[in-house]
Amino acid sequence: ISPYRYNIDILPSSNVEYVTVHSSNFPGNYPGYDDTWDMQKFQKNFRIDVVHLDESSMEFDMVGIDAAIANAFRRILLAEVPTMAIEKVFIYNNTSIVQDEVLAHRLGLVPIRADPRLFEYRNTVEEASEEEGSEIDTIQLQLKIKCSRNPRASKDSSDPRELYLNHMVYSRDIKWVPIGNQADVFADAVIGPVHDDILIAQLRPGHELDIIMHCVKGLGKDHAKFSPVATASYRLLPEITLLEPVEGEKAERLKRCFSRGVIDIEDVNGKKVAKVVNSRLDTCSREVLRHDDLKNVVKIGRLRDHFIFTVESTGILAPDVLVTEAIKVLMTKCQRFLNELDSTDIE
């Protein structure tokens, strides 16, 4: 069985298809579905349509590919697009109630805004001999803060926000400390945490944190903190077909069986007639199967080669940049595989 297999359970019905999607082990695996490889056919049918794009998320359609390629692309987004993250935490002073290990773990998971394409991977040999790192492979951050009483606080107040100064430690308190010529090279870049309001610790008077952090370049497959996306997923495009006209009260009930926007009611010669408007909005609800007079008038399926991708960035890189980098990684993998084939002597 192919590892790229996704089953969608559907209640039995003569007009509802079972939808099972996986990579074809050989052409002709599915009756009536032509998946033989043809470069000209692929070039003609393959396309990418961007549906939505903003600073943090992206939705696009990838049409004309096999499920194995779609899943490989998803896994690359999750685990093989490099980012910068806190790898080493040097705690010189921690008098808070948060243990050193917990504090280091929290800091490691804070997304750091720094373009990984401008840095190199740190050499493991150099890492053992050179603790400080260099300007080409390391970003140094500092967290130095101390909590004290607010002399201007009211005597009757019980609000910590008024009684204490610096009692809440946020990611905005982490400051970038340039190494070597980084101040000149990254003069226009804003290096630091992506979000300023991530709570790291709570302090009380006398508590103090003095920490130095080193960020390095890494991959999500080594540690989740290096993953550039919060989510990267795909689903097949739903396909809903009405097998016969649905009118009147039945049309109203059919509309309520699907997500908002999927089915609409239009006036045809004074009659209310159901019409499929946008099957993309369907969430694969099978509510229609509960109605005996409706379950045989609609056919529910999915397009086997039409994938709807959703990519949500952690903010380190824009989602469209992540998609571009993932494509480059996939191309590199393919080229490496072709080079291995060329270098292999076949007897």
Residues linked to residue 50 through DSSP beta bridges, in sequence order: 60
Mean pLDDT over residues 172-198, rounded?
Answer: 92
- What pLDDT, on the 0 to 100 scale, is given for residue 212? 96
Least confident span in 128-137, 147-156, 177-186 = 128-137
Helix segments in 46-90, DSSP class H:
67-79
Residue 283 has pLDDT above 90, yes or no: no
In the predicted structure, residue 307 carries a pLDDT above the cut 80:
yes
Average pLDDT over residues 109-118: 94
Give CA–CA dist 257/280, Å, rounded: 15
Mean pLDDT of 272-279: 91
Distances (CA, A) of 330 to 120, 171, 183: 20, 34, 34
Distance, CA of 234 to CA of 115 (rounded, Å): 26
Query: What's residue 10's pLDDT?
Result: 38
Residue from 83, 98, 182, 110 nearest 140 by CA? 182
Instruction: Give the residues across from 272 on adjacent strands.
Output: 267
- CA-closest candidate to residue 247, choices 283, 229, 224, 271: 271
The average pLDDT across 109-125 equals 88
Q: What is the pLDDT of residue 29?
A: 62
Longest dimension (CA), the chain: 89
Question: What's the whole-number mean pLDDT along residues 95-106?
Answer: 95
**Assigned CATH for 83-227:** 2.170.120.12
Confidence of residue 41 (pLDDT cuts 50, 70, 90): confident
Q: Is the pLDDT of residue 146 over 90?
A: yes
What pLDDT is attached to residue 2? 38
pLDDT (0 to 100) of residue 30: 65
Q: Is the pLDDT of residue 18 over 50?
A: no
CA 325 to chain centre: 14
Residue for token pair 């009756």: 31
**234 touches 51 (CB < 8 A):** no
CA 334 vs CA 221, 329, 331, 340: distances in Å: 19, 9, 5, 10
Exposure string (b/e) for 266-276, b if CB count within 10 Å is 16 or more? eeeeeebbbeb
Residue 124 pLDDT > 70: no
Residue 16 pLDDT > 90, yes or no?
no
pLDDT at residue 32 is higher than 50: yes
Out of 18-22, 30-34, 132-136, 210-214, pick the least confident: 18-22
The alpha carbon dihedral of 215, 217, 218, 219 has a sign of positive
CA 71 to chain centre: 13
The CATH classification number of 6-80+231-243+296-309 equals 3.30.1360.10
Indicate the domain borders of the chain. Answer: 6-80+231-243+296-309, 83-227
Q: Is the pLDDT of residue 128 over 70?
A: no
